[in-house]
Chain A
Amino acid sequence: MKVELQVNGTRRVLDVEPRMTLVDCLREKLDLNGVHTGCEHGICGACTVLIDGEPARACLMFAVQADGYAITTVESLAPAPGELSVIQDAFCETHGTQCGFCTPGMLLVAHALLKRNPEPTRADIVEAISGNICRCTGYGQIVEAIALAARRLAGSNLGTEGG
């Protein structure tokens, strides 16, 4: 089936099997390896992407269902090669990642949260990431990273980040 996706700001027309999930499509057809496959039943959140700006599980959606939507993956977050976004830099500053497998999903939910709520409380951050499982960090340094990013964005003239 033909499907038309807006992926990271670029229009992509693809021919996919109807049963192909969005996560498999992004990885296998578009080489977007930053989206990860963790459980394939919608619990772990490793496959999180933004669909029209909202976090969604790319494993619970067929690629054909994403037709016409704007899809954001972690690959679009860095403003330039070798340059980190404020949120990415905050994750490096607090070491909010270990093995890195859940990290793209965490970054995307953080991104969506800070766009919606530039001054989140700790409870807001915990709620935002609670659908994404991390087995390495115990979440502490992820929460710190997002709080740090919020402070830095508030103190800068960047506003919420694009992407």
Chain B
Amino acid sequence: MSAPFKFVSTNRRVREDRRFVVGRGNYVADIRRDGTLHVAIVPSAHPAARIVAIDAAAALAMPGVHDVVTGAELAAAVEAMMNGLDTPQVRRYSLAVGQTRYSGEWVAAVAADSRAIAEDAAEQIEVAYQPLPHVIDVEQALAPSSPLVHPAHGTNVLLDKSFVWGEVDRHFAQAPRQLSFRVTWGRNSTVPIETFGVLAAWDPWHEMLDVWASIQMPKYAEQIARALRLPANAVRVHYDVDVGGSYGVKRGIKHTVLVGYLARKLGRPVRLIEDRLDNMRSGDAHGPERIFDVAVAFDDAGIVKSMKMRALDNVGAYAGRAPFQLGKPIGAIVGPYRIESVQYRALSVMTNKAAQEAVRGFGQSPTNYAIETAIDRVAAALGLDRLEVRRRNFIRREEFPYLIPSGTRYDSGDYHTVVDKVLAHADWPALERERDRLRATGMLAGIGIAACLEPSGGNSSFEPLLNEKNTTTTWMDSCRIMIDGLGHVTVTIHTTSSGQGHETLAATVVGEVLEIDPDRIRVVRPDSLASLPSNSPVGSRMAVMLGGAAFHAAGKLRRKLIAIAAHRLGVAADALSYAGGAIADRAGQRLEWADLVTIAHRNFHLMPPGFEPGLEVTHVEQVPTGHALPTPDGRVQMYPCHSFEFHLVLVAIDPELGRTELRRYLIGHDCGTVINPHIVKGMTLGGIAHGIGAALMEEFVYSEDGQMMSQSFMDYLLPSAHEVPKVEIVHHCTPSPFTVLGQKGSGESGYLGAPAAVSSAINDAVSPLGIVFDKLPIRLTAISDAVAAARDRNRDR
């Protein structure tokens, strides 16, 4: 199918918005069940301590308190949570077992008639601790003398895997120039405004655990069932729960295992809704914290031939799925550039910080920050224009599909054109003049540049790449379409959503194929037991995967309708044309939609032989291109599609206050065929805001004694409308050859380049003072301190 489209890419409203603007979202905290008990948590006071004793007698004696559960009890009754890597000695339960491994870690849980009573009771629980040595700094954790976070594992290293793709040694040896540097990505996260919550109810007569959760977790029901030692068909996850923002982090297995266990034990519905402190300190939802050591080999023209990257990630106290965030960026390890060879060492190291979880981009945004810093440094080393260096290194339009050294074939792109369009829109010379004018007024001013990719369509090839025991080669999503006896269309999707507009996506695509108004299509979400195999909206995948499933299901339905008509009219299927739901041949014979529905639902005698009655189709979509396990030398096709974004930002910094003001922000964005322009725009603007936060404000800071210092929104600052500028979006469309409509993903757009762009702008602004910022976030205080110190240095000279 190719443009022009009837509904795809048109400015249609997003159907989900209607329930949200009247306050009728169905969030987990809105779901009430009679007799529900509420959970509050007892957090660890120490970053590492042996749990000597837990005295819950006073708490249990309080009116309204039903139970106090400890890690020892829980560990005897449930399985440890799944690890992504093959690290069986890094055992993780909902509650600390025997020892605590980070400050705030859950030590015990109270179930009571209200959350307030549960909190009161939690304060009455006395835990005797024997503090143990702890480690917070990731490089100290690597040292042989370091305390061990999990002594049974024997090391703090969860993953240390090196790859060499191409002739790195030769390229470095032959390159006329080299440079190396270190940049650091601070620990931040997505911090949704709705915290994580879950409600579970056990029905012993049906032997069924019903779960409502603000969840965005692939294989969620399976993981709960496995941990609770239940058959998977005894866990029913309700997907019609609206999730109040996630952007990756709402994985909630530890929360769900805890409330699932309590619900079964107590015979009552049990819910745990994190408060903000629970969420930030112990929700296990921090993002990557990463030190990059990068070296590049290049020539006098600025052509980068080879790159060595060592990524050292502070993953926190447990394994989970988070270490895979070092694997996903392998699929775009050279960014949009023709770098011929790469050496990559991925190190995931545990410390006594909160456990990490997936964050928007799954490690790609930090990696893009490192790659873009490299390109800026190459330009600076040669005295070349930063744009020109990028242009010289970009993969060219005619080179796609383009195979990168690590084994992924990029689908399509036209990077030079996107950059040209943005520069024209921005009036580049005027932008430079404005920067220079600002500098003349005494401000620090700079222009930031970042070009990067958003791998999309999420398969899970990083799993077998980083864990040889894992043989995953599918990461499906699915769609069912039913036409009822009155001819109305209902489409099912099989996951929760957290604001991405998947109902609109599915209706638009089905409407496009069936040529019926998407507003007439109902979209519903069955529970997990009535669902087809699907994963969740991770990895910027739903436009590609749900879009693909909906497209193919609708195509099957269309072909079925044509086959019914062909049989009824006694002509060959290829003699018929389908238009707007009616089918006709060239002789003027015609069957309307209602006729076809009647045949399928009521006139089995008129159906083609071998057909089942009714009009129902399903399609389970395999990730395009993702069919093979990694090769022995560590190459694999990661995600199928690669959206491109080019950021241009002008900053002005008050040299006394250090406050960074984003004067102008432009982004060129190419995600192929756009299914709904409003949704893509919203994702891009939201991603940029999130990236601005990561660049300037947001960080979970730990003290040396292991306490988390950013425990509220007074300390962990989120961008408000004042900090986010008006963003100018320049569109471009290079369709993907690997998807049904030419679409690519956009769920991580903006976020993947904004931190790099803002860093680039600030470094451009402070470069006249000889200052280099090589760690994010670049806070106001860091800037004012560095400027003051630079001025002192200059004065002393």
> What is the interface of chain A, defined by CB distance below 8 A to chain B?
17, 19, 27, 32-41, 43-44, 46, 73-75, 77-78, 84, 88-89, 91-104, 107, 122, 126-127, 129-143
Within 8 A of A (CB), among B673-723: 678-679, 681-682, 685-690, 712-714, 718, 720-722
Q: B24-36 interface mask toward A, CB cutoff 8 Å, 1 = contact, 0 = none?
A: 1101011000000
In the complex, A84 Cα to B30 Cα: how many Å? 22
Cβ of B188 to closest chain A Cβ, rounded Å:
12
* Interface contact A73-B718, CB-CB below 8 Å: no
Whether B690 contacts A95 by the Cβ 8 Å rule is: no
A84 is contacted by which of B21, B25, B29 (Cβ under 8 Å)? B21
CB distance from A15 to the nearest CB of B (A): 15
B721 to chain A, nearest CB (A): 4
Find A74's partner among B23, B193, B246, B276 (CB 8 Å cutoff).
B23
User: 22 A-B pairs, CB-CB below 8 angstroms?
Assistant: A17-B116, A33-B23, A35-B23, A40-B276, A41-B713, A88-B21, A93-B13, A94-B678, A95-B678, A95-B682, A99-B245, A99-B498, A100-B19, A127-B722, A130-B722, A133-B193, A135-B190, A135-B247, A137-B685, A138-B750, A139-B724, A141-B678
Say whether B22 faces chain A, with CB atoms less than 8 Å apart.
yes
A39-B713, A92-B21, A104-B23 known; A136-B682 Cβ under 8 A: yes
Please indicate which of the listed interface residues A40, A41, A84, A100 has the most CB atoms of chain B within 10 Å of its own CB. A100
Choose from A78, A99, A122 the contact partner of B499 (Cβ within 8 Å).
A99
The reply to whether A134 and B13 form a contact with Cβ atoms under 8 Å apart is no
Q: When A and B form their complex, what is the total count of cross-chain residue pairs whose Cβ atoms lie within 8 Å?
A: 182
Q: Which residues of A contact B27 (CB under 8 A)?
A: 33, 36, 101
For B22, list chain A residues within 8 Å (CB): 34, 74-75, 77-78, 84, 88
Q: Across chains A and B, which 5 residue pairs bring their CB atoms closest together, nearest first?
A: A34-B23, A100-B20, A99-B499, A101-B244, A98-B499
Q: Is the CB of B721 within 8 A of A135?
A: no
Contact surface of B with A, Cβ cutoff 8 Å? 13-14, 16-25, 27, 29-30, 116, 190-195, 242-247, 273, 275-276, 498-501, 678-679, 681-682, 685-690, 712-714, 718, 720-722, 724, 726-727, 750
B105 to chain A, nearest CB (A): 21
Chain A's interface: helix, strand, loop or mixed, by majority?
loop
* A27 partner residues in chain B, CB cutoff 8 A: 29-30
Partner of A107, one of B19, B21, B192, B727: B21
**CA distance in complex: A139, B724 (Å):** 8
Q: Is the interface of B mostly helix, strand, loop or mixed?
A: loop
Chain A positions within 8 Å of B713 at CB level = 39, 41, 43-44, 133
| CA A137 to CA B679, docked complex, whole Å | 10
Nearest B residue to A101 via CB reads B244
Contacts A95-B17, A135-B191; A100 near B25 (Cβ below 8 A): yes
**Contact between chains at B23 and A73 (CB < 8 Å):** yes
Which chain B residues lie closer than 8 Å to A141 at the CB level? 678, 681-682, 685
| Chain B proximity of A110: nearest CB distance (Å) | 11
**Docked CA distance A76–B23 (Å):** 10
Residues in chain B near residue A127, CB distance under 8 A = 721-722
Residues of A within 8 Å of B498, CB to CB, are 99
Contact A140-B685, Cβ < 8 Å, known A41-B712, A91-B21, A92-B17: yes
Q: Is the CB of A99 within 8 A of B192?
A: yes
Known: A39-B713, A135-B690. A95 touches B681 (CB 8 A): yes
* Complex-state Cα separation, A40 to B273, whole angstroms: 12
Chain B residue nearest in CB terms to A97 = B20
Determine the chain A residues whose CB is within 8 A of the CB of B193 once the complex forms: 36, 38-39, 44, 46, 99, 101-102, 133-135
A138–B25 contact, CB under 8 A?
no
Nearest CB of B to A141, in Å: 6
Which chain B positions have C-beta within 8 A of A44?
193, 713, 718
Out of B190, B242, B722, which one reaches A100, CB within 8 Å?
Answer: B242
CB of A12 to closest CB in B, whole Å = 17
- Which A residues are in CB contact (< 8 Å) with B275? 40
User: Is A43's CB under 8 angstroms from B685's CB?
Assistant: no
Cβ of B18 and Cβ of A135 under 8 Å apart?
no
B499 touches A136 (CB 8 A): yes
A131 touches B686 (CB 8 A): no
- Tell me the smallest distance from the CB of B696 to a CB of chain A, in Å: 14
When distances are taken between beta carbons in the complex, the residues of chain B under 8 Å from A91 are 17, 21
Complex CA distance for A57 and B607, rounded to whole angstroms: 62
**Chain B residues with Cβ under 8 A from A142's Cβ?**
721
Say yes or no: B722 contacts A103, CB within 8 Å. Answer: no
Could you tell me the distance between the alpha carbons of A77 and B501 in the complex, rounded to whole angstroms? 23
Which B residue sits closest to A37, measured CB to CB?
Answer: B29
Closest residue of chain A to B30 (Cβ to Cβ) is: A33
Q: Give the Cβ gap from B14 to chain A, nearest Cβ, in Å.
A: 5
- Which of A38, A101, A129 has the most chain B CB within a 10 Å cutoff? A101
Q: How far is the CA of A92 from the CA of B11 in the complex (A)?
A: 12
- A139 and B721 form a contact (CB under 8 A): yes
A25, B229: Cα distance in complex, Å: 38
B-chain residues with CB within 8 Å of residue A37 when the two chains form the complex: 29, 273
Residue numbers in A under 8 Å from B276 (CB-CB): 38-41
* Residues of A close to B243: CB separation below 8 A: 99
In the assembled complex, how far is the CB of residue A5 from the closest CB belonging to chain B, in whole angstroms? 18
Chain A residue with Cβ nearest B275: A40
User: Is the CB–CB distance between A19 and B116 below 8 Å?
Assistant: yes
- Across the two chains, which residue of chain A brings its CB closest to B677? A95
Q: Establish whether residues A92 and B194, one from each chain, have CB atoms under 8 Å apart when the complex forms.
A: no
Which of A19, A95, A138 counts the most chain B CB atoms within 10 A?
A138
